[in-house]
Amino acid sequence: MHRAKFRLKCMVRTHVGASDEAYGCAMQREDGVGRVGFHIGKGLPKAASQALFENLRVLAPRALPIKELVGTWSPHWCIKKNDNNKSGASASGSVPVNFKAGVDHFCLHPGGTAVIKGVGKSLGLSQHDLEPARMTLHRFGNASSSGLWYVLGYMEAKRRLRERDRVLMIGFGSGFKCNSCLWEVMRDLEETNVWGDCIDECPPETLVNPFLEKYGWVNEH
């Protein structure tokens, strides 16, 4: 145990594949000329939101401290849209649930800018909270769920993870599914790992792709 970096506190797995729309929004298939690729359907944002909110509904009472639950607890936790038609987490449909009350760091799926922004907005996270996921996407691209470990590695290289801190890891995948893990840091972590050659330069002043102007025409075709 003295070598362990994290202790798993709880894990929640959510699968919404019972919905045909959610099942078909992200899957491997052939195109018109027989080339195999990964199809992303228009229903992906809706499926991702449904999976995320169902997951948070189960996770919230496990991750939040008692003092946060007092006054907001309801037998039926719900994650739904508020009066402004913006997605958010709430207990009893009215009182916002503050996940920061039970979580110190957020390890978000670096599957794209829209994914990071969407989850961050739903949980009320700051740019500091989103930085590890944004930097991972910027440097390594979308490596699917494996990218979560680069996000975690970024936090360690930045020396943000201290003993007894709690880290919420949220990942997405085809199916459609959303999995979350709540980790407890076992000791102060300071290894530079795979980020060692550039961690002191992160985050850069701008994330604009320097090759976009020269090769951006590819997107037009």
Active site residue 179: no
217 burial (CB, 10 Å; 0-12 / 13-18 / 19+) is exposed
Q: Kindly name the residue from 55, 82, 84, 138 that is annotated as catalytic.
A: 138
Q: Kindly name the residue from 2, 39, 84, 105 that is annotated as catalytic.
A: 105
Active site residue 142: yes
Q: Kindly name the residue from 39, 84, 128, 142 that is annotated as catalytic.
A: 142
For residue 78 the two structure tokens come to: 């719900």
Q: Kindly name the residue from 2, 39, 98, 109 that is annotated as catalytic.
A: 109
Active site residue 109: yes
Using CA atoms, how far apart are residues 50 and 81, in angstroms rounded to an integer? 11
* Residue 140 contacts residue 150 (beta carbons within 8 Å): yes
Helix/strand/coil percent split, the chain, to 5: 40, 25, 40
Active site residue 2: no
Amino acid at 32: G
Using CA atoms, how far apart are residues 131 and 51, in angstroms rounded to an integer? 23
* Residue 104 contacts residue 137 (beta carbons within 8 Å): no
Active site residue 128: no
Using CA atoms, how far apart are residues 60 and 123, in angstroms rounded to an integer? 11
Using CA atoms, how far apart are residues 171 and 158, in angstroms rounded to an integer? 21
Per-residue burial over 146-161, b if 16 or more Cβ lie within 10 Å, else e, is ebbebbbbbbbbbebb
Q: Kindly name the residue from 2, 15, 179, 221 that is annotated as catalytic.
A: 15
Residues serving a catalytic function are 15, 105, 109, 138, 142
